């Protein structure tokens, strides 16, 4: 079956509850598969660490309903238990709609929902809130409620009576505790590698579930789906010559979907980790380079001093294909401002500088202006944008180096990205594995490279 953990709004405690259940299940010897609704990169890193298995994103808007269905049943059926963490508020989708929302995923997969509510400062009003969410959509099953930031035993008893009056099961109460708060930064929760004492945190999360959740009621809810085939298993592996691909992997570049690397490996493009922060040359066998997103602005001063890495990147760009998205694209520019506004030199492959700007977030529809590494003129692709940095350059909007035109909810149609014969660079994140065409064209580009 599995269950979806949702909330009325972000910041209610979804991730803390999910981590507690994952850590407890793992401590009891259960194999549990975590899922995350939406295009999130940071929460899945934490869920990975707690479960000991790669978290899989369930994103209807980015990947389509068929992929989400196959991913849930395929990956979920490999474990004993499964758990889905929602995104934002339960019914929050694109713009003011429910498209791609946690509720939409729960209904598509026919999963019950547990609502985690920040109960701080609430009493009888909790009943109205729960009734509203329960009755808003008759096609959605609300299996129970977990209350977060409950201040005392008296507060707990009061809220339990309120829930009993509206016929809603109480599945647990998490105490108010700053000690359990998850650190955040400017794009959400801090990455998993920045958490202090991870093994101790796992123990504390597991103990939180053991002491404050009704686990006898949770176990049946978390039973994994019985059967399914992971989406990548439906793609025949390539047995031809290998074409290794370097991928930036360190504290500055770590926004990756697990399925991308898995699919590349399946298509005979093994990944070669490369750390720009280590100031090292690129792997000699690499036929192409992937620069994923991350937080290069947080490490801009150190990156600017990595002369070997930056020089290697400049030379590589003259000979081999490069795919760069979001933070990865910033490494290709002339200058990058750090969190304090100080400018630092980057590789200088593309003619722009980057500084802090307004938040840009949302799904985007992209239409390429010309044939490129991954897409062809006239095609269309769905992606996601999420960043606070902006590019400064004097390129006209009609320039041939514009990668594509993008459009989102109330954004208008604007030119975006940099496309050359060897480079695909954009703010937009793509989910390669849900469109195997991307990996196929990437392999074609590697095979056509005259300088292996």
Question: Is residue 229 situated within a structural domain?
Answer: no
**Interatomic CA distance for residues 265 and 257, integer angstroms:** 13
pLDDT at position 237, please? 93
211 and 265 share one domain:
no
In sequence order, the 6+-apart residues with CB closer than 8 A to the CB of 190 are 42, 182, 183, 184
- Start-to-end Cα distance in the chain: 48
What's the structural domain count of the chain? 2
Question: Is residue 315 situated within a structural domain?
Answer: yes
Closest CA to 52 of 236, 192, 214, 256: 192
The residue out of 198, 221, 244 marking a domain boundary is 221
C-beta of residue 290 within 8 angstroms of C-beta of residue 332: no
Interval 118-167: pLDDT, tens:
999 899 999 999 999 999 999 999 999 999 999 899 999 999 999 999 99
pLDDT at position 36, please? 98
Q: 414: helix, coil or strand?
A: strand
pLDDT at position 288, please? 98
**Interatomic CA distance for residues 124 and 126, integer angstroms:** 5
Interval 36-66: pLDDT, tens:
999 999 999 999 999 999 999 999 999 999 9
Instruction: Write out the residue range of the structural domain in which residue 34 sits.
Output: 3-221
209 and 249 share one domain:
no
pLDDT at position 301, please? 98
In sequence order, the 6+-apart residues with CB closer than 8 A to the CB of 196 are none
**Interatomic CA distance for residues 317 and 301, integer angstroms:** 22
Residue 55 bears catalytic tag = no
Closest CA to 181 of 8, 4, 19, 54: 19
Interval 213-235: pLDDT, tens:
999 999 999 999 999 999 999 88
pLDDT (mean) for 190-218: 86
Question: Is residue 336 situated within a structural domain?
Answer: yes
pLDDT at position 127, please? 96
173 and 281 share one domain:
no
DSSP state of 219: H
Residue 134's CATH number: 3.40.50.300
CA 369 to chain CA centroid, nearest Å = 27
**Interatomic CA distance for residues 149 and 169, integer angstroms:** 18
pLDDT at position 197, please? 74
By CB atoms closer than 10 A (0-12, 13-18, 19+), residue 90 is: buried
149: left (phi over 0), alpha (psi -120 to 50) or beta: left
**Interatomic CA distance for residues 227 and 229, integer angstroms:** 7
| DSSP per-residue string spanning 322-343 | EEEETHHHHTTSSEEE-TTS-E
pLDDT at position 53, please? 94
Lowest mean pLDDT among 92-101, 134-143, 193-202, 217-226: 193-202
274 and 300 share one domain:
yes
Interval 402-443: pLDDT, tens:
999 999 999 999 999 999 889 999 999 999 999 889 999 999
pLDDT at position 185, please? 56
Asked whether the predicted pLDDT for residue 192 surpasses 90, the reply is: no
Asked whether the predicted pLDDT for residue 451 surpasses 70, the reply is: no
pLDDT band, residue 9 (cuts 50/70/90): very high
Q: Name the pairing type of β-strands 81-85 and 56-58.
A: unpaired
pLDDT at position 34, please? 98
pLDDT at position 176, please? 82
By CB atoms closer than 10 A (0-12, 13-18, 19+), residue 398 is: exposed
Predicted structure pTM score: 0.94
Asked whether the predicted pLDDT for residue 338 surpasses 70, the reply is: yes
Question: Is residue 230 situated within a structural domain?
Answer: no
pLDDT at position 240, please? 84
**Interatomic CA distance for residues 396 and 402, integer angstroms:** 9
In the chain, what percentage of residues exceed pLDDT 70? Answer: 95
User: Beta-carbon neighbour count of residue 265 at 10 Å?
Assistant: 15
The residue out of 221, 250, 271 marking a domain boundary is 221
CA atoms in the 13 A half-sphere facing the CB of 168: 29
Q: Name the pairing type of β-strands 142-150 and 170-175.
A: parallel
- When the pLDDT of each residue in the chain is averaged and rounded to a whole number, the result is 94
136 and 194 share one domain:
yes
Lowest mean pLDDT among 138-147, 186-195, 311-320, 433-442: 186-195
Alpha-carbon distance values, 82 to 21, 30, 145, 406, 413 (Å): 10, 10, 18, 36, 40
Lowest mean pLDDT among 4-8, 236-240, 401-405: 236-240
**Interatomic CA distance for residues 389 and 100, integer angstroms:** 26
Which has the higher per-residue pLDDT, 436 or 109? 109
pLDDT at position 1, please? 77
Residue 337's CATH number: 3.40.50.880
| DSSP per-residue string spanning 346-407 | ---SSS-EEEEEEEEEEEEEEEESS--SS--TT--EEEEEEEEEEEE----TT-TTEEEEEE
The residue out of 193, 221, 249 marking a domain boundary is 221
In sequence order, the 6+-apart residues with CB closer than 8 A to the CB of 165 are 127
Asked whether the predicted pLDDT for residue 390 surpasses 80, the reply is: yes
Q: Say which of 63, 173, 326, 439 is annotated catalytic.
A: 326
In the chain, what percentage of residues exceed pLDDT 90? Answer: 88
Question: Is residue 146 situated within a structural domain?
Answer: yes
CA atoms in the 13 A half-sphere facing the CB of 238: 18
pLDDT at position 272, please? 98
């Amino acid at each position: 079956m599995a269950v979806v953990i949702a909330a009325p709004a972000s910041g209610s405690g979804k991730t803390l509850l999910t981590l507690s259940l994952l850590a407890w299940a793992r401590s009891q010897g259960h194999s549990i598969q975590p899922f995350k609704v939406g295009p999130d990169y940071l929460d899945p890193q934490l869920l990975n660490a707690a479960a000991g298995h790669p978290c899989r994103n369930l994103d209807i808007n980015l990947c389509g309903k068929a992929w989400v269905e196959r991913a849930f049943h395929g990956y979920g059926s490999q474990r004993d238990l499964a758990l889905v963490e929602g995104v934002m508020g339960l019914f929050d989708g694109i713009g003011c709609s429910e498209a791609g929302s946690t509720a939409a995923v729960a209904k598509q997969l026919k999963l019950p929902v547990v609502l985690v509510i920040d109960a701080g400062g609430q009493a009888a009003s909790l009943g109205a809130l729960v009734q509203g969410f329960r009755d808003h959509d008759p096609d959605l099953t609300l299996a129970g409620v977990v209350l977060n930031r409950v201040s005392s035993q008296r507060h707990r008893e009061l809220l339990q009576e309120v829930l009993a009056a509206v016929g809603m099961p109480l599945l647990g109460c998490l105490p108010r505790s700053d000690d359990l708060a998850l650190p955040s930064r400017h794009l959400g929760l801090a990455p998993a590698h920045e958490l202090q004492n991870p093994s101790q945190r796992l123990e504390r999360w597991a103990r939180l579930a053991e002491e404050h959740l009704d686990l006898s009621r949770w176990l049946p809810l978390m039973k994994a789906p019985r059967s399914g085939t992971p989406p990548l298993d439906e793609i025949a592996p390539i047995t031809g010559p290998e074409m290794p691909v370097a991928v930036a992997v360190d504290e500055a570049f770590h926004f990756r979907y697990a399925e991308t690397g898995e699919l590349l490996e399946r298509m005979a493009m093994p990944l070669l980790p490369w750390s720009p922060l280590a100031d090292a040359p690129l792997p000699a066998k690499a036929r192409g380079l992937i620069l994923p997103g991350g937080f290069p602005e947080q490490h801009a001063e150190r990156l600017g001093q990595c002369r070997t890495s930056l020089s290697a990147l400049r030379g590589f760009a003259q000979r081999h294909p490069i795919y760069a998205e979001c933070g990865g694209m910033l490494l290709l520019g002339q200058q990058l401002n750090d969190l304090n506004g100080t400018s630092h030199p980057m590789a200088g492959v593309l003619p722009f500088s980057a500084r802090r700007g307004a938040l840009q977030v949302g799904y985007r529809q992209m239409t390429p202006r010309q044939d490129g590494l991954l897409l062809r003129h006239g095609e269309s692709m769905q992606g996601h944008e999420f960043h606070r940095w902006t590019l400064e350059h004097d390129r006209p909007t009609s320039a041939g180096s514009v990668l594509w035109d993008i459009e989102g909810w109330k954004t208008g149609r604007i030119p975006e990205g940099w496309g050359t014969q060897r480079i695909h660079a954009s703010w937009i994140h793509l989910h390669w594995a849900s469109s195997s065409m991307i990996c196929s064209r990437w392999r074609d580009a590697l095979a056509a490279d005259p300088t292996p």
